[in-house]
Amino acid sequence: MLRGKQTWWFENRPVILGAATVVGPDEGDGPLAPCFDLIHPELDMQQKSWEKAERLLMEQATDIAIRNAGVSKEQLQFFIGGDLLNQIISSTFAARELELPYLGVFGACSTSMESLALSAMLVNSRSARRVLAGVCSHNCTAEKQFRYPTEYGSQKPPTAQYTVTGAGAAVIAEEGSGPVITSATIGRVVDMGITDPFNMGAAMAPAAVDTIQSHFEDTGRSPEDYDLIVTGDLASVGHPIAKDLLERNGVPIGKTEFTDCGLMIYDMVKQKNIIQAGGSGCACSAVVTYGHLLKRVRKGELKRILVVATGALMSPLSYQQGETIPCIAHAVSIEGGG
């Protein structure tokens, strides 16, 4: 059911039956390494192209998620997936192998929570019994498409973020044991006029703030109702901006643990020369949520969390034509279940 202007309230409490994460070597060197299902030691993953390596990430994550959920592929009704590449080819080619009815979605780095929210909606409305959601990204594919190929060796400003190489997937079901999805706030496009593709954190921060505020207005909740509120990939530049904007707008975020997946995925001191401002990409919020946060929810360390994935909805063409960067954020509320 709809609550307020833009929040879905899932009265049937869809369950995250199982999830999986697959990452690359830099993510494997970070502090969350023990939380991931599979870590590749090399970026190319013995594939002939970066794009094929990214597709492999998605294929492996979805396969492991299905196994972790204790179901078979034949017991799933839909696959909802997305990525950063043109025509979301990584997800589409992975869907070819899954042979499931497929809904391809694009929300840039917000796609992780977009796909999870849509999956929960299908299950909550009884339009499906079990849905597979997944996203992926690869540092070398994203850099080649949106900025410069890594082989070019271009120097980046300190505001630049490092696209996470990884994939996260989850099986959402109408019943079973696991964390439950209680609501999802669908974001609006917010554009503050920023044109610099190396400053994604500043561009996306206002969208995150808009969605968080809308979530509280629609649900009647406040920051204190959550053990953790985590943004998707604002990193070291955008996250302080979001916190400042929330406080200026009268949202007392300081009383709740408020952090960012882009700050959690890497060691911000030891890996500083590689990741600069922090992590980004579709896989950023996906692997942190599905690999780390869900484990904390299952253990009872976190009772209720709000994951707010952010995305910059630009394309190589729009950037080359001097367009500003429209951004969006989608929030999903997850609680401990049975």
Q: Which residues contact 96 (CB under 8 A, 6 or more apart)?
A: none
Residue ranges making up the domain that contains 228: 180-335
Based on the domain organization, do 150 and 184 belong to the same domain? no
pLDDT confidence of residue 275:
86
Number of structural domains found in the chain: 2
Based on the domain organization, do 98 and 211 belong to the same domain? no
Based on the domain organization, do 84 and 159 belong to the same domain? yes
- Give the position of tokens 């408020």: 258
Picking from 133, 150, 173, the residue at the C-terminal end of a domain is 173
pLDDT-derived band at 272 (thresholds 50, 70, 90) equals: confident
- The pLDDT tens digits for 13-49 are 999 999 999 999 999 999 999 999 999 999 999 999 9
Based on the domain organization, do 18 and 136 belong to the same domain? yes
Based on the domain organization, do 157 and 224 belong to the same domain? no
Picking from 173, 208, 235, the residue at the C-terminal end of a domain is 173
Based on the domain organization, do 144 and 207 belong to the same domain? no
pLDDT confidence of residue 314:
87
Based on the domain organization, do 197 and 327 belong to the same domain? yes
Cα angle value 253/222/326 (rounded, 5°): 65
pLDDT, averaged across the chain: 93
Does the pLDDT at position 207 exceed 80? yes
pTM: 0.95
Based on the domain organization, do 12 and 133 belong to the same domain? yes
Dihedral over Cα of 216, 219, 222, 223: its sign = negative
pLDDT confidence of residue 246:
95
Based on the domain organization, do 255 and 150 belong to the same domain? no
Does the pLDDT at position 70 exceed 70? yes
* CB half-sphere exposure, 41, CA atoms < 13 A: 0
Report the SS3 class of residue 295: helix
Alpha-carbon dihedral of residues 327, 220, 7, 309, nearest 10 degrees? 40
pLDDT confidence of residue 155:
67
pLDDT confidence of residue 149:
62
Picking from 146, 173, 200, the residue at the C-terminal end of a domain is 173
Residues pairing with 133 in the sheet: 80, 170
Q: How far apart are CA 151 and CA 338, in angstroms?
A: 48
Does the pLDDT at position 240 exceed 80? yes
How far CA 214 is from CA of 62, 115, 153, 155, 168, in Å, comes to: 32, 19, 41, 38, 26
- Give the position of tokens 């034509």: 321
Based on the domain organization, do 201 and 74 belong to the same domain? no
Does the pLDDT at position 63 exceed 90? yes
- The pLDDT tens digits for 77-112 are 999 999 999 999 999 999 999 999 999 999 999 999
Q: How far apart are CA 82 and CA 84, in angstroms?
A: 7
* Cβ(293)–Cβ(228) below 8 Å: yes
Based on the domain organization, do 65 and 210 belong to the same domain? no
Based on the domain organization, do 184 and 154 belong to the same domain? no
pLDDT confidence of residue 315:
84
CATH number at residue 249: 3.40.47.40
pLDDT confidence of residue 157:
67
Q: Which residues contact 163 (CB under 8 A, 6 or more apart)?
A: 84, 137, 138, 139, 142, 143, 279, 280, 281, 284
- The pLDDT tens digits for 146-165 are 766 666 556 676 677 889 99
